[in-house]
Structure 1
Amino acid sequence: MIFDLLTVSGSAFDVDAATRAYLDTLQGPAKDKSDAYFEGGYYLLVFGTLVAVLIDWLILRFRFAKALRDFGERIFKRPFGATWLTALLYLLVSGVMALPWSIYTDFWREKHFGLLDQSFGDWAFEQALGAVIGLAIFPLLIALVYSIIRRAPKTWWVAGTAVTGVFLFIGTMLAPVFISPLFNTYSEMEHGPLRDRLVSMAAQFDVPADNIYVFDQSKQDKRISANVSGFGPTIRISLNDNLLERTSEEEIVAVMGHELGHYVMNHGAWRVGSMLTVLGLGLFLISRLGPWLIARYGERWGVRDIADPASLPVLTLILSLYLLLATPAFNNITRLQENQADAFGLMAAQEPDGFARAAMRLSEYRKLEPGALEEFLFYTHPSGKSRVRRSMQWKADNVPNAAIDVPPEGYLDQ
């Protein structure tokens, strides 16, 4: 990709001017569309929670939870089996009830903004496949947590958090090998100068690079991405085909430098630990609020106590509201790590303009210039403006005789 170089007035590289030169490449309808899509997500976050709460309330109000529990207890005499079946049926029923909302948010809206390339049939198949995987995992986790509740009704949230952590760790380790390939085709990256450069960069930081895969994200959408996933023997570097086909070598190397930063700084384990801390607080609140709600309304709902699997909608209702309130905490934990990986990636790849261009491409679905409070509350990653400015500051500090690179008009459409 060829870029025009502007001569910088004076001897100093103007970080603000260089940043603005990038930001101004997104203008007019394209910027309005980006802002509208991302800002709409703020409302979806609230309304999505209200939909989840409404579904749980309806399941309780019309005693569906009791009916599911009674059916589970008729099929299984042991509490573990009855809880597992109750949880399975609850997830099925609530999933079907939420289907119109899912179609609107995950299919129709994505199509409306031009961010989804799948037909409805292909999208529905992947949603069904994801649901099957979830039904194979979550009822078992729920049954284990209820076993703990029966044994320790006051302190179950401690062991419940630990069990959830075990599931998260196993899932993170196994997903790259057994789950991700169910949705996309993974193949070894072709040998050549680009792969050699990525392998060399990974080797500098002792990141295993025996397996570098390319997966066909383009079957779903045009978004660029890459990751270093897995633990131990399942560690692998993966790039999606959009990254390879839509961007320059400088962008690819910059993105991979960022992803290597996550691995080197052990962000996977830290993220699981941080998220479990926030989740543990949520389970603690459930352990206190759940019995109070059941004592007040349990007879009306047909729920005996918190150890009764029919209480599952009560627990998930509280959890949904808590997670909405905890969203800024989750977002800031993630954004802190993304900031750290950005700084590492600039140092590792030494491609500040490549990183700035890659950050600009994310404006397809992420508002480029949010306010400070907006970024604090809603952003899981640094904003495009923050990332471009960091890149230009790194360039000013590390590149002799730096000049402002202005991408050609229309490069974001590639």
Structure 2
Amino acid sequence: MSKKWGVRGILLYILFGLLMFAYLFYWADHTIPESLRGSVADPSTFMTERELVLSEEYSKIRYLLSLLSTPYEWLFYLLVLVTGASLLMEKSAEKISKYHAVQSAVYVFYLSILSFIAIFPFQYLSHRFSVEYGISNQTFSAWMKDEMLDFWLGFLTTFIIVAAIYWLMKKSPKRWWLYAWLFFVPYATFFVFIQPIVIDPLYNDFMSLQDKELEKEILQLADQADIPAEHVYQVNMSEETNAMNAYVNGIGASSRIVLWDTTLQQLSKDEILVIMAHEMAHYVKKHLYFGLAGYLGLSLVGLWILSKLVKRWGEQYKDTLKISGWNRLSSLPLLFALLSFMLFAASPISNAVSRYSEASADQYALELTKDPDAAISTFQKLTKAGLSQVQPPLLIKWFYYTHPTMLERLIMIQDFRTSEN
């Protein structure tokens, strides 16, 4: 039975891959409506013919890798289970130490190594294509350095969570999900707090905005929005990418408004102010706090559902999945696969909520700056720099877009400009 599950999983994945390839390269419609031809949302009005071709090629490749990577993760976890690899790793961890924390660390390390090796081809292809299409200029050695940093940070955080969850599973088989959530709330909040000041600087150099005149204007804009901002930060990203970005992260005293140096290099002052106004909207409208609260609320429901599924599947398919028990370390791939599937299934809803927040931030930025022309040129330049499609396929929008499409954003700005005139 285990072998059949593995073979079926592989065949289903191949079939899914062929369907997604056909969808992206032959079936999906990404053309803009005829009524918008020649408008500010028409990429042919602000992109060269070469850029349009590259955008279509790169988008299809990037979307295909994204669509294939998630079910590939599920297949990986299935094969780790049905081949008995998970049970072997558990037994090895138990031989090394009798202490639960050490066993958890050893098992998570084994699984992390296997996962890194299995997923590396997708990671490498994504990096390689971004370099070939001029999005990234990061060298392979610099990219591998970041990958190694990701590995060790991932291992550390996963070990802490896994050790806590499986200890709770044994101590309270019926209510472990509730206690895990109570542990997760301060853990997640603490992680959001320390990310801007501890985690992010491990990858890039952050500093106060060097253009003091620009910083003064940004702070004046913040004052108009009643934001108690004292500094704007810039981060050195030009050694890695040609794309542009700006963001707000952290909570409370760790909150930061950050600009990529590529954004500073490629946008005008007025365009940068539009982006800053957008990021300030997240602060004014408390999107970070609402997002964290919503995430914690959904995680409570998710953990409850996960507890039911992992127990039921772990008991019903114990022999097929080759695990020693639903609340033993060998069941971790099952737990991860179920969690990944649940997150993927919920992504259309969570992405829709995120797109709504981002659209409201766009609207706020327009109302604050009163400069729709700068907003239009900003999003057009962002589209060119990232070789993005203004109208992505519907499945891509549902499952991967946390922001409105460029078509939607440019239409909204055009409507705002029309209403103002």
| TM-score, normalised with respect to structure 2 | 0.84
In 1, the alpha carbon distance for the partners of 2:132 and 2:179 equals 44
In 2, the alpha carbon distance for the partners of 1:384 and 1:155 equals 45
The one-letter amino acid of 2:100's match is P
Q: In the TM superposition, what whole-angstrom CA distance separates every residue of 1:140-166 from its partner, at most 9, and x where no partner exists? A: 012112222223323333333443343
Gaps of 5+ in 1: 1-14, 401-414
- Residue correspondence of structure 1 range 130-279 to structure 2 within 5 A: 130-279=150-299
Deviation for aligned residue 1:353: 1.5
Contact kept? 2:63, 2:396, Cα under 8 Å: no
In 1, the alpha carbon distance for the partners of 2:41 and 2:410 equals 9
Which of residues 391, 395, 411 in structure 2 aligns to 1:369?
391
Contact kept? 2:235, 2:260, Cα under 8 Å: yes
In 1, the alpha carbon distance for the partners of 2:169 and 2:141 equals 41
Contact kept? 1:84, 1:139, Cα under 8 Å: yes
Could you say if the C-alpha distance between residues 45 and 17 of structure 1 is closer, same or farther in structure 2, counting changes exceeding 3 Å?
closer
Contact kept? 2:347, 2:398, Cα under 8 Å: no
In 2, the alpha carbon distance for the partners of 1:377 and 1:156 equals 30
2:307 is the counterpart of 1:287 = yes
Could you say if the C-alpha distance between residues 28 and 154 of structure 1 is closer, same or farther in structure 2, counting changes exceeding 3 Å?
farther
Structure 1 segments of 4+ aligned residues over 6 angstroms from their partners: none
2:410 is the counterpart of 1:396 = no
Contact kept? 1:165, 1:272, Cα under 8 Å: no
Secondary structure of residue in 2 paired with 1:217:
coil
In 1, the alpha carbon distance for the partners of 2:263 and 2:107 equals 43
Q: In the TM superposition, what whole-angstrom CA distance separates every residue of 1:187-223 from its partner, at most 9, and x where no partner exists? A: 2212533111101111222323222211111111011
- Residue correspondence of structure 1 range 41-56 to structure 2 within 5 A: 41-56=62-77
Q: In the TM superposition, what whole-angstrom CA distance separates every residue of 1:28-77 from its partner, at most 9, and x where no partner exists? A: 33223223333444433331122212221221122221122122223332
Q: In the TM superposition, what whole-angstrom CA distance separates every residue of 1:341-385 from its partner, at most 9, and x where no partner exists? A: 111111122221211112112322431124667644542111112
1:350 maps to 370
1:58 maps to 79
Secondary structure of residue in 2 paired with 1:238:
strand
The one-letter amino acid of 1:94's match is S
Contact kept? 1:208, 1:235, Cα under 8 Å: no
Deviation for aligned residue 1:282: 3.8
Deviation for aligned residue 1:233: 1.7
Contact kept? 2:41, 2:390, Cα under 8 Å: no
Contact kept? 1:294, 1:304, Cα under 8 Å: no
Secondary structure of residue in 2 paired with 1:219:
coil
2:143 is the counterpart of 1:123 = yes
Secondary structure of residue in 2 paired with 1:237:
strand
Could you say if the C-alpha distance between residues 35 and 329 of structure 1 is closer, same or farther in structure 2, counting changes exceeding 3 Å?
farther
In 2, the alpha carbon distance for the partners of 1:30 and 1:323 equals 34
The one-letter amino acid of 1:87's match is V
Q: Percent identity at matched positions?
A: 23
2:14 maps to none
Deviation for aligned residue 1:20: 4.7
Secondary structure of residue in 1 paired with 2:342:
helix
In 2, the alpha carbon distance for the partners of 1:387 and 1:179 equals 31
2:317 maps to 297
Deviation for aligned residue 1:16: 9.2
2:401 maps to 379
User: Greater shift after overlay, 252-261 or 130-139?
Assistant: 130-139
User: Greater shift after overlay, 300-309 or 379-388?
Assistant: 300-309
The one-letter amino acid of 2:403's match is H
Deviation for aligned residue 1:278: 4.1
Q: In the TM superposition, what whole-angstrom CA distance separates every residue of 1:299-321 from its partner, at most 9, and x where no partner exists? A: 35442222101100011122222
In 1, the alpha carbon distance for the partners of 2:68 and 2:349 equals 19
Which of residues 50, 68, 82 in structure 1 aligns to 2:89?
68
Contact kept? 1:213, 1:236, Cα under 8 Å: yes
Could you say if the C-alpha distance between residues 375 and 303 of structure 1 is closer, same or farther in structure 2, counting changes exceeding 3 Å?
closer
1:410 maps to none
In 2, the alpha carbon distance for the partners of 1:396 and 1:154 equals 59
Secondary structure of residue in 2 paired with 1:218:
coil
User: Greater shift after overlay, 320-329 or 277-286?
Assistant: 277-286
The one-letter amino acid of 1:333's match is V
Secondary structure of residue in 2 paired with 1:214:
strand
Deviation for aligned residue 1:243: 0.9
1:408 maps to none
RMSD: 2.5
Task: Compare relative contact order (CA 8 Å, sep 6+) and give the higher one, 1 or 2.
Answer: 1
In 2, the alpha carbon distance for the partners of 1:142 and 1:373 equals 32
Secondary structure of residue in 2 paired with 1:122:
helix
Secondary structure of residue in 2 paired with 1:339:
helix
Q: In the TM superposition, what whole-angstrom CA distance separates every residue of 1:373-401 from its partner, at most 9, and x where no partner exists? A: 76445421111121112222222233x5x
Which of residues 51, 66, 83 in structure 2 aligns to 1:30?
51
Contact kept? 2:359, 2:403, Cα under 8 Å: yes
